[in-house]
């Protein structure tokens, strides 16, 4: 799911809370992030979000990067629930509310924590009454992730990623 401000705040609080614990033990960067991830999952097994995606062509005006045209704004609502072993898998539904011409377009996503297992995403096109399965960006390095709701965001942007796919380092103590 798209990382919301509240999830980011919660993650930051957990990181600060575990920093003192981490300093008293000899934990690796991965161990610290595992503690943060576990704490977040224990305190949040579901979520409801309302968000706006805004996109436009950018230009430089007076040395500042600004929208060169009127931005396109989409309002979305999303519901997510963690499930599976240790609540590490997520099922979510996202529905387009605005603009009116796109109202009702929906996306169903299953995100799996298991390394090597691709996430699954389906798009419901309300105007056509059809469901389309979106290709996963994980299975093939050459496959482009699908754009979400006509924005610059992709299905890959909505995924939290698996801890094993990243390298974490403790820079200082």
Assign residue 94 the CATH number of its domain: 2.50.20.10
Measured at the alpha carbon of residue 159, what is the angle toward residues 156 and 161, in degrees to the nearest 5? 105
Most confident of 74-83, 112-121, 150-159: 74-83
- Whether residue 66 lies inside any domain: the answer is yes
Residue 17 belongs to a domain: no
Residue 86 within a domain: yes
Query: Which domain does 154 fall in, by range?
Result: 46-165
Question: What is the per-residue pLDDT for 21?
Answer: 52
> Average pLDDT, stretch 32-42?
81
Per-residue pLDDT tens over the stretch 100-150: 988 898 989 898 888 778 888 898 988 888 998 887 655 455 556 666 656
Q: Is residue 32 part of a domain?
A: no
Instruction: Please give the Cα distance from 94 to 173 (Å, whole number).
Output: 41
- Roughly what angle, to the nearest 10 degrees, separates helices 5-24 and 29-43? 130
DSSP string, 116-150: TPPPEEEEEETTTTEEEEEPPSSS-TTSPPPBSTT
Cα 34 to Cα 72: distance, rounded to the nearest angstrom: 38
Q: Does a structural domain hold residue 13?
A: no
Determine what percent of the chain is predicted with pLDDT higher than 90: 10
Of the chain, the end-to-end C-alpha distance in Å amounts to: 32
Sequence-ordered list of residues with C-beta below 8 angstroms from that of 166, at least 6 positions apart, any chain: 33
Number of domains in the chain: 1
Whether 35 is covered by a domain: the verdict is no
pLDDT, mean of residues 15-36:
71
Structure tokens at 42: 């224990």
Q: Is residue 34 part of a domain?
A: no
Does some domain include residue 74?
Answer: yes
* DSSP run (H or E) holding 87: none
């Amino acid at each position: 799911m798209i990382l919301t401000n509240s999830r980011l705040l919660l993650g930051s609080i957990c990181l600060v809370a575990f920093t003192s614990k981490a300093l008293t033990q000899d934990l690796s960067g991965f161990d610290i992030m595992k503690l943060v991830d576990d704490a977040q999952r224990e305190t949040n097994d579901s979520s409801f979000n309302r968000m706006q995606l805004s996109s436009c062509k950018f230009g430089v005006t007076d040395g500042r990067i600004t929208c060169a045209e009127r931005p396109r704004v989409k309002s979305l609502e999303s519901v997510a629930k963690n499930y599976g072993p240790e609540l590490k898998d997520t099922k979510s539904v996202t529905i387009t509310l605005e603009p009116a011409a796109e109202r009702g377009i929906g996306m169903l996503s299953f995100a799996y924590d298991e390394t090597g297992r691709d996430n699954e995403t389906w798009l419901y096109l309300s105007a056509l009454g059809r469901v389309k399965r979106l290709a996963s960006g994980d299975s093939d390095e050459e496959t482009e992730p699908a754009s979400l709701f006509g924005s610059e965001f992709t299905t890959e942007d909505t995924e939290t990623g698996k801890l094993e796919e990243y390298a974490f380092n403790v820079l200082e103590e």
